[in-house]
Amino acid sequence: MSASTPRNDGPARPDGTEYPVQKPEADWAAELTPQEYHVLREAGTEAPFVGEYTDSKTEGVYSCRACGAELFRSAGKFDSHCGWPSFFEPLAKDSVVYLEDVSLGRSRTEVRCAACGGHLGHVFEGEGYNTPTDLRYCINSISLRMLPAAPQT
């Protein structure tokens, strides 16, 4: 778990502005399952290869499970075989915020929802995946909710 967590960090983003969606921790705890709360508010990690979106090929938009903000599109999802859903870019540059995470004794970049501050996962660069950005957003399925695209008629 990160030394920094949404639960402990309060309403401010890394740049000092406030998250638009704010609730008392008791409300987050009441609205989320214990596992969702652990990942989204305590910067936990779900087990690899068990998330509902790890292998999903469904077209649509992935939103924050805590607040509903749109975060990623299925067009930016790729198979990294790492055990968690992987994306090469967020829906928009301002849909996520980044924090340094040194909880494992090395520096990583944590990704949080820009609307509510919920922990999503981490982003890695330079791993050699054949993607347009050379980035891998490694995101916990439990942090997301998928809204499938409307069927084409």
Active site residues: 138
Other CB atoms within a 10 A radius of the CB of residue 128 amount to: 7
- What 8-state DSSP symbol labels residue 12? B
Residues in the chain: 153
32's CB contacts (< 8 A; 6+ apart) are 40, 41, 65, 66
Q: In this structure, which amino acid lies at residue 70?
A: E
- Dihedral of the CA atoms 15, 19, 51, 53 (nearest 10)? -90
